[in-house]
Amino acid sequence: MKDGRGAVTICFTNNKGGSGKSTSCANLGYELSAAGKRVLLVDGDMQLNLSLSFFDEEKVLDMAGNGKNLYEAVSNRRDLQEYVISTPYENLDLIPSSILMSQIEYKLFSMIQREFTLKKCLKSITEKGDYDYILIDAPPTLGAWVINILCASDYIIVPVEASPWGFFGLANMFDFLNDIQDITDAAVMGVLITKVDERKNYYKQARDILDHFDRIHVFDTFIHVDSAVEWAQDASKPVSVYKRTARSAGEFKKLAEEISRYGSR
Ligand SMILES: Nc1ncnc2c1ncn2[C@@H]1O[C@H](COP(=O)(O)OP(=O)(O)OP(=O)(O)O)[C@@H](O)[C@H]1O
Ligand SMILES: [Mg+2]
How many angstroms does the Cα of residue 68 sit away from the middle of ligand 1?
26
Average pLDDT, stretch 176-194? 92
- 168 CB neighbour count, 10 Å cutoff: 10
How many angstroms does the Cα of residue 189 sit away from the middle of ligand 2?
19
For ligand 1, atom 2: residue with the closest CA: 225
Q: How large is the greatest C-alpha to C-alpha distance in the chain, in angstroms?
A: 51
CA distances from 119 to 136, 149, 196, 240 (A): 12, 8, 34, 31
Closest ligand 1 atom to residue 225 Cα is 3
Residue 150 to residue 156: CA distance in whole angstroms? 7
For ligand 1, atom 14: residue with the closest CA: 18
Closest ligand 1 atom to residue 17 Cα is 25
CA distances from 71 to 66, 201, 252, 254, 262 (A): 11, 41, 29, 33, 31
Q: List, for residues 44-96, the tens digit of each pLDDT value.
A: 999 999 999 999 999 999 988 888 999 999 999 999 999 999 999 999 999 99
Percent of the chain with pLDDT over 90: 76
The helix (H) or strand (E) run that includes residue 221 is: none
Predicted local confidence at residue 205, as pLDDT: 76
Q: List, for residues 97-106, the tens digit of each pLDDT value.
A: 999 999 999 9
Predicted local confidence at residue 265, as pLDDT: 45
For ligand 1, atom 13: residue with the closest CA: 18
Closest ligand 1 atom to residue 16 Cα is 25
For ligand 1, atom 23: residue with the closest CA: 18
How many angstroms does the Cα of residue 195 sit away from the middle of ligand 1?
8
Residue 19 to residue 32: CA distance in whole angstroms? 21
For ligand 1, atom 31: residue with the closest CA: 230
Predicted local confidence at residue 202, as pLDDT: 74
Q: List, for residues 20-40, the tens digit of each pLDDT value.
A: 999 999 999 999 999 999 999
- Helices marked H in the chain — which ranges? 21-34, 49-52, 57-65, 70-75, 104-109, 117-128, 144-151, 170-179, 202-211, 227-234, 239-242, 247-260
- Name all residues whose Cβ lies below 6 A of ligand 1: 17-23, 45, 47, 49, 139-140, 194-195, 223, 225-226, 229-230, 233, 248
For ligand 1, atom 28: residue with the closest CA: 18
Q: If we measure between CA atoms, which residue out of 176, 156, 221, 213 comes closest to residue 11?
A: 156
Mutate to test the pocket of ligand 1, among 15, 21, 23, 157 (most ligand atoms within 8 A of CB): 23
Domain ranges of the chain: 8-260
Percent of the chain with pLDDT over 70: 97
The structure's pTM equals: 0.96
Please name the residues in contact with 247: beta carbons below 8 A apart, sequence gap of 6 or more: 224, 226, 228
Closest ligand 1 atom to residue 45 Cα is 27
Average pLDDT, stretch 139-166? 93
Residue 263 pLDDT grade (very low, low, confident, very high; cuts 50, 70, 90) = low
Average pLDDT, stretch 199-220? 80
The CATH number of domain 8-260, selected from 1.10.1060.10, 3.40.50.300, 3.40.109.10, 3.30.2320.50: 3.40.50.300
CB environment 80-101: b (16+ within 10 A), e (fewer): beebbeebebebbbbbbbbbbb
